[in-house]
Structure 1
Amino acid sequence: MSLPGHGRYEYVPITRRPKILWPGEKRLAVYIGLNLEHFSFGEGLGAELAPGGPQPDVLNYAWRDYGNRVGAWRMLDLLDELDMPATILANSAMYDYAPDLLAAFRTRGDEIAGHGRTNSERQSTMTEAQERAMITEATQTLLKAEGTPPKGWLSPWIAESPVTPDLLVEAGYSYTLNWCMDDQPVWMKTRAGPLLSVPYPQELNDIPAIVARKDSASEFADMIIDTCDEMLQQSANQSLVMGIALHPYIVGQPFRLRHLRRALAHVASRRDEIWLTQAAEIASHWTRTMPPEGDHLL
């Protein structure tokens, strides 16, 4: 029986991969994907702390806005304290709404990656022309503000249309964070050429863990610690990628930040064994070492 497929990549088990080392001869690359998101008031999509009533849903809108006004700033201090880099996944609407916040992460030298215009919309419901226009608008906003175009993209709500990977390559993107099928980067096929999928976690992600499954702050912190230690052990045989996906309106809450501090301090304490980096650096190193054509793909 043949099931419908996507045709973007082939099945290759993790046990049959080429050997690669990260910089410094490390075998585990770790990056933080910090989502900075702005939402429409009175309409559109948004995570919920509690079931929302008729619009305007003030409770959930204000809860999400806490992340931009307070939580993200506390997380910035924590990253500075631990000397940890981050990949900032930025809605382009953030540049109008909270430019000081983007400037603060820019000053740190963090990577700014594309994350649509706003998480109040989902690109999988758009026509191809609408989706192309949305990607162009978001990309141009980041380019104007940062001086260089973003290299990576994470779709709002991880939502894709059938042509999203094609449109990303056509817009100049070299990697995507949308696909969570592996612990190593994977080359994907598009009509415009190859696109690298860099692992972005859906388990080690505070929205599925805390909002959906209702895991506690302590449980989520333990997940980060256990994943780091287990993947370090697994990486003795092959180089791997560990991502940590965070949202300031969730883990920026004080009682959760206390446990996040414990987890990230544990990760930082193992910096001699891991490569603490950004998603773009992972993509660049993989592209140089394992380009989309070559004997290593056979």
Structure 2
Amino acid sequence: MKEDPGYYDYWPYENRPKIQWPNGAKVAFWVAPNIEFYELNPPDNPFRKPWPQPSPALPGYTCRDWGNRVGHVRQMELLEKYGIRGSISLSTALCDHHPEIIEMCKERNWEFFSHGIYNTRYTYGMTEAQEREMIKDSIETIYKHTNQKCAGYLAPALSHSENTLDLFAEVGTELFGDEAGIYSCDLFHDDQPTPIHLRSGKKFASIPYSLEMNDTIAYLVQKITPRRYGKELKDNFDRLYAEGAENGTIMCIPTHNYQVSNAHRIKAYEEALEYITGHSDVWVTTGKEIAQYFLDNYYDMAMVDIKSKNKKYGNA
């Protein structure tokens, strides 16, 4: 039994080498809309049921359908208003079910990264070969419909195997070289990019994607009000902005069109976006741009510092 996942080393937050974002920005800020497709009657998975209701699970299905019909346009217009290009955590089946959404995002130069094929088909129980094929299908689909070489991955419904990160990096390299398969959003252990261990030895980073700032966690798990969620977004930014003056930090807002875009929630979200983007020393960017900047400029420095600190603390 492993004592930890083994993907990364202990690396204390204190006294790390300084990350300097472009133009002296204190915070790299990105928004990750999860644009997903949920099947009404997906194949059974013995490890997890997709719906709490018996079939047909119309309440859950139709709410998510509303997100793709109405909520997406509402959020897209809002992000465009504040100069934010979304980094889409994409259920790639959406390319066939809702190609019009893909076109709208392409017109705005949004990033597309893989969130699996359907958000109702989980990694749990897959063989390594099956998971590899699922990842390959999703990367190829993104390229076919967007001409983008998929850089990032978030496992469908946050379902993982011990091989997920290795497979994503390997398939990305096989298909498109070092431009694809370079970062993951599936680890929630830091406020800065961190190097990840892969069996291939490829340079690969974890990019902060906060579950605490995730609208689904806020509304369905924490059960907070829209006004409270908006305040949490601002408070989170304020702290990262203050610390970013010494060493660059990252803030991500993961969203779902069927959550944050509801008419009674969108105002608090907009106020937070206006507040964050109103600061001049914020890099408003995408997940891929953050990952590539870190890999190009700070990955090697981070590895040296991690090795030194672990030797110092007897963890080497």
- Please, what TM-score do these two structures have when normalized by structure 1? 0.94
Alignment of 1:215-226 (within 5 A): 215-226=224-235
Deviations 1:215-239 (A, max 9, x none): 1111111111111112111212211
Distance in 1, Cα, partners of 2:289 & 2:68: 26
Structure 2 spans left out of the alignment, 5+ residues: 173-180, 309-316
1:296 Cα deviation (Å)?
Answer: 4.3
The whole-number CA distance in structure 2 between the counterparts of 1:161 and 1:152 is: 17
Q: Once the two structures are superposed, what CA deviation does each residue of 1:75-101 show, in whole Å capped at 9, x if it has no partner?
A: 111111112122111111000111111
Give yes or no for the alignment of 1:37 onto 2:45: no
| Structure 1 position 133, deviation (Å) | 0.7
Find the aligned partners of 1:154 and 1:181 in 2 and give their Cα distance: 15
Count of residue pairs the alignment pairs up? 293
Kept in 2: contact 1:74–1:252 (CA 8 A): yes
Kept in 1, the 8 Å contact 2:116–2:155? The answer is yes
Q: Cα offset for 1:46? A: 8.2
- The residue number in structure 1 matching 2:223 is 214
Letter in 2 for 1:283: A
Q: Give 3-state SS (helix, strand or coil) of 1:124's partner.
A: coil
- Give the distance between the partners of 2:193 and 2:87, measured in 1 at CA: 16
Mapped pair 1:244 → 2:253: yes
Specify which of 253, 274, 286 is matched with residue 294 of structure 2.
286
Partner in structure 1 of residue 242 of structure 2: 233
**Alpha-carbon deviation of 1:251?**
0.6
Aligned-residue offset at 1:39 = 0.7
Name 1:73's counterpart in structure 2: 73
Residue identity opposite 1:105 in structure 2: C
Residue 20 of structure 2 is matched in structure 1 by: 21
Tell me how far apart the structure 1 counterparts of residues 147 and 108 of structure 2 sit (CA, whole Å). Answer: 15
- Gaps of at least 5 residues in structure 1 are none
Aligned mates of 1:43, 1:145 — CA distance in 2: 24
Report what 2:184 is aligned to. Answer: 176
CA-based RMSD of the aligned residues comes to 1.7
Picking from 209, 212, 237, the partner of 1:200 is: 209
CA distance, structure 1, for counterparts of residue 283 and residue 82 of structure 2: 14
Please say if residues 47 and 60 of structure 1, whose CA atoms lie closer than 8 Å, have aligned partners that are also in contact: no
SS in 1 for 2:37: coil
SS in 1 for 2:284: strand
Structure 1 match to 2:10: 11
Is the CA contact (8 Å cut-off) linking 1:89 and 1:154 kept in structure 2?
yes
Tell me how far 1:127 sits from its aligned partner: 1.2
Paired amino acid for 1:181: H
Give the match's secondary structure for 1:254.
Answer: coil
Does the 8 Å contact 2:68/2:257 carry over to 1?
yes
SS at match of 1:282: helix
What SS does structure 2 have at the residue aligned with 1:178? coil
How far 1:276 moved relative to its partner?
Answer: 0.8
Displacement of 1:288 in angstroms is 1.1
Q: How far apart are the structure 1 equivalents of 2:138 and 2:49?
A: 19
Q: Secondary structure at the match of 1:16?
A: coil
Tell me the percent identity: 29
Alignment of 1:76-225 (within 5 A): 76-172=76-172, 173-193=181-201, 194-225=203-234
CA distance in 2, matches of 1:85, 1:234: 24
- Residues 250 and 47 of structure 1, relative CA distance in 2, 3 Å threshold: farther
Query: Does 2:281 align with 1:273?
Result: yes
Q: Distance in 1 between matches of 2:164 and 2:15?
A: 28
Query: How far apart, CA to CA, are the structure 2 residues paired with 1:46 and 1:22?
Result: 42
User: 1:195 Cα deviation (Å)?
Assistant: 2.0
- 1: CA distance, partners of 2:194 / 2:299: 10
Partner Cα separation in structure 1 for residue 234 and residue 299 of structure 2: 32
